[in-house]
Amino acid sequence: MDADIQPATPGATHATMQAPAQPVLHDVLLQLASVVGEKNCIREVEQLRTYESDGLASFRATPGVVVLPASTEEVAQVVRIAQRANLPIVARGAGTGLSGGALPIPGCVLIGLSRMKKILEVDLDNGFLRVQPGVINLDVSKHIGPGGYYYAPDPSSQSVCTIGGNVAENSGGAHCLKYGFTVNHVLGLTVVLGDGSIVKLGGPVLDEPGYDLTGVVVGSEGMLGIVTEVVLRALRKPEATRTFFATFPSTTEAGNAVSAIIASGIVPAAIEMMDKLAIVAAKAATGVDWPDVNAALLMDVDGPLAECEHTSAIASRLCSEAGALEVRVPRDAYQRDLMWKGRKSAFAAVGRISRNYLVQDGVIPRSEIAKVLREIAELAAKTGLRVANVFHAGDGNLHPLVLYDARVPGEEKKAEEFAGDILRICLRYGGSITGEHGVGADKAIYMGEMFSEGDLETMGKLRCAFDPEARFNPGKVFPTPRLCGDKPGPHKPHASELSGDAVRV
Amino acid sequence: MLRSLRERVMFVGGGTQLGLGPAPEVLFSTRLLNRIVDYAPSDQVVTVEAGVTLAALQEHLNKQGQRLSLDPPLPERATLGGIVAANSFGPLRTRFGSVRDLIIGVSIVRADGTRAKGGGKVVKTVAGFDLPKLMCGSLGTLGLIATTTFRVHPLPESHATLVARGLPASGVFALVKAMRAAQLEPAAMVATREETTWEIVVRFEGFESGVKQQREKLRTLGAFEDEGDSVWAAHAAFRTAGDARVKVAALPSQLEQVVSALPAEQRLCWYPTLGLGFAMGSFEFESARHTLAALGGSLTVEAAPSGSAYGAPPDSLRVHQSMKARFDPRDLLAPGRFIGGI
């Protein structure tokens, strides 16, 4: 995205975050620097600007200070200093998130975890490894690849995004249709809580007695604590993978092909759809030799060799029966990688065909794909904006890219409203406002459309159980600010409660 | 009804997992919450009320060539609400994971009567905090699970079960490693101790060609014979035998240490890829509990005439306590049945 675009029209949450910040007190800065070292305590305004947004570049705020700790203990000390100074804390990995999850709160202590990038333990026999949060997603698979293993979640940004960020957002990726999301591959966590205490949740041994707090922290968007170690599942590579690329006269036929493949009992490893604009963009960016068609599917099946041969043959036949123009099978691993590169670069590639664009992330029941795409197209025609569609068709996770030109007055606002209307379509079909990018700052205003007050209040209780002072990432996810309102720790019922005269909310 | 609650209450589904803990004043049966609310076969998603039994749900799904890939014992009695609350599982966990990996949405009623939902009705959503996961294994201590939404899978076209007998304990994990090296993908795998040796049962599922290939490959790794499906029913019966049972958890490679921590005459089954097992029959389990804790594992009592269900609580106990206090401040829901006296 262009660096000169203006901050987006603020929603309620965004406006709160733009409140003027007090500078961090000199004494606090000195304490932070003494923990992480002078050069890892960033306070020069010019340098702080590097951290003022994440992948959602239209939202910006300047942190009070950025600290780059190197260990769990340093994170804990930083949190204690921030707590004493009553400063909000925001954690940040690589800053590739697309929902403003790592957007600073003005004047906050931003904890960058990029220096914590050690792989601490590898136990392939037992199928796990223990890593620090700053480890790059793809580096995990590179590290265990030679032993015949890999780490399954594969967000498109996997060559730069970090495991810590993946944990915060419960990141998905093309292959989560068969293998699940980050949460299905995280066995345990070390977390620094709001009072600076360190807790271990779960671990390589399954079913630790108690609530599944590991499962709760994954996807909590940095609002429960700071994750400083992660135990990941290492999967044995499948014996075989078969890929094909099929083109269609329209997204309707492509959607029908997806439905037919799923109905046949095949669980594809991945099944991705692109529409005409997305194909044009991917070609412009990567040079893949795809034809100019209105829709394409890219599909992987994996598993035992004989099964793969069988399922890829069936799926290919079902595509033809659904009206495919052509089904291409890559000749070799190089060609396969190129096909996937075309798909994974689709977001960035859209920059080749439009000055600005918004990446949307919504989910619908997969059987409704064709209908929803038609509604989006009608809306596009009405607003006069173009939409490129790239999505995980197998699980109904849409990524409409709304193209616009920020230089045209009013067009950015129109694009944002359009992107919001797409989410409302998803909700109307019983879907979700985010499948993998998270709510963050971007979508907090839509939470009230997906969830009732009782739902949000209950989620608030979950957060308060971890972070009663709302120290971490305040203002994100929830549409209205929430306070916990009482003291943390085990509850001692008051006499009036015991007698039934009073009820604590 | 919950809003006016004054007494301590426990929610009961099929009553298959009630073998331990203090009895509350009121039992709240979910038996009448027995509707299948919504089922979209083409989306492979189903929403059911808490009191639907697993067998009733499977029968419904099977008509459309699908199933919920969960197979805890006693499906005729076990309800979906209870299965989520107790984190129940069977051999299919080998391939499909546990409840937490299959649940995608939940609605609950809190102790103060507030209704709340989390997750959704699509297989993929990250909007809001993960209430469905919070409910998994929560034993009814945070709220009444009213409905649950699951991802379902196609019924496999074909399957095969094979058995090998007479393995030493060390051979169990050696086989896991060999199967992984050979890139076999078992749907289910369980080892059962018979006197001093182990019997291993493996199930493959999928399309016929894949099942056939894997079956042949497994036979090159050990003395495996074809076996009938009744062996799985026998396993389920084993899991529920007697009135005393404990669940043991360790790393898959630690089976031998687990074995030596338990009395030699103890009946024992073990899911070799998961590192989870069950020991049947009454015994003094405190010393075994210490040994397992030292290994990084745990021993949890599922049913016993007396004794404590849990060992020393994890160091995160105060977060668990805080969660309980936020959800159930009057401590009315199944008090004393969870870790650390929650």
**Which of A179, A200, A205, A476 to mutate to probe the B interface, most B CBs <10 Å?**
A205
CATH of the domain at B81: 3.30.465.10
Is residue A447 less than 8 Å (CB to CB) from chain B? yes
Averaged over A243-272, what is the pLDDT? Answer: 95
Is residue B159 less than 8 Å (CB to CB) from chain A? no
CATH of the domain at B247: 3.40.462.40
Quote helix, strand, coil % in chain A, to nearest 5: 40, 20, 40
Residue B314 lies in a domain: no
At A3, the pLDDT band (50, 70, 90 cuts) reads: very low
Residues B211 and B114 in one domain: no
Nearest to B212 among A306, A396, A491 (CB): A306
Residues B293 and B323 in one domain: no
Residues B133 and B254 in one domain: no
Check B209 against A307: CB less than 8 A apart: yes
For residue A38, pLDDT over 50 is answered with yes
CA-to-CA dists, residue B324 to A17, A230, B109, angstroms: 31, 25, 14
* 8 Å CB contact between B27 and B10: yes
For residue A220, which residues of chain B lie inside 8 Å, CB to CB? 129-130
Give me the domains of chain A, ranges plus CATH numbers. 12-112 (3.30.43.10), 119-236 (3.30.465.10), 240-428 (3.40.462.10)
For residue A166, pLDDT over 80 is answered with yes
For residue A177, which residues of chain B lie inside 8 Å, CB to CB? 123
Residue B4 lies in a domain: no
Residues B295 and B166 in one domain: yes
CA dihedral (B323, B326, B327, B333) in degrees, to 10, reads 80
At B21, the pLDDT band (50, 70, 90 cuts) reads: low
Residues B175 and B253 in one domain: yes
* 8 Å CB contact between A441 and A99: yes
Residue B238 lies in a domain: yes
Residues B35 and B62 in one domain: yes
Closest CA to B46 of B194, B149, B134: B149
Residue B271 lies in a domain: yes
Residues B165 and B139 in one domain: no
For residue B338, which residues of chain A lie inside 8 Å, CB to CB? 210
At A392, the pLDDT band (50, 70, 90 cuts) reads: very high
CA-to-CA dists, residue A1 to A19, A97, A171, A360, angstroms: 25, 14, 22, 14
- Sequence-separated (6 or more) residues with CB below 8 Å from residue B59: none
pLDDT tens sequence across A288-329 = 889 999 999 999 999 999 999 999 999 999 999 999 999 999
pLDDT tens sequence across A167-187 = 999 999 889 999 999 999 999
For residue B165, pLDDT over 90 is answered with yes
Residue B41 lies in a domain: yes
For residue B1, pLDDT over 70 is answered with no
Check B314 against A211: CB less than 8 A apart: no
pLDDT tens sequence across A431-481 = 999 999 999 999 999 999 999 999 999 999 999 999 999 999 999 999 987
Residues B149 and B37 in one domain: yes
How far apart are alpha carbons A391 and A278 in whole angstroms? 10
Find the domain containing B119 and state its range.
Answer: 9-155+319-341
* 8 Å CB contact between B189 and B202: yes
pLDDT tens sequence across B256-283 = 999 999 998 889 999 999 999 999 988 8
Question: How many domains are contained in chain B?
Answer: 2
How far apart are alpha carbons A504 and A221 in whole angstroms? 28
Residue B311 lies in a domain: no
Place of tokens 């984190």: B87
Residues B18 and B140 in one domain: yes
Residues B214 and B162 in one domain: yes
Residue B1 lies in a domain: no
Residues B167 and B128 in one domain: no
For residue A17, pLDDT over 60 is answered with no
For residue A490, pLDDT over 50 is answered with no
pTM across the whole model: 0.94
Residue B171 lies in a domain: yes
- In DSSP notation, B274-333 reads TTEEEEES----HHHHHHHHHTT-EEEEEE-SSS-SS-SPPTTHHHHHHHHHHH-TT--B
Q: Where are the beta strands (DSSP E) in A257-368?
A: 270-275, 295-303, 326-328, 356-359, 362-363
Residues B230 and B104 in one domain: no
At A486, the pLDDT band (50, 70, 90 cuts) reads: low
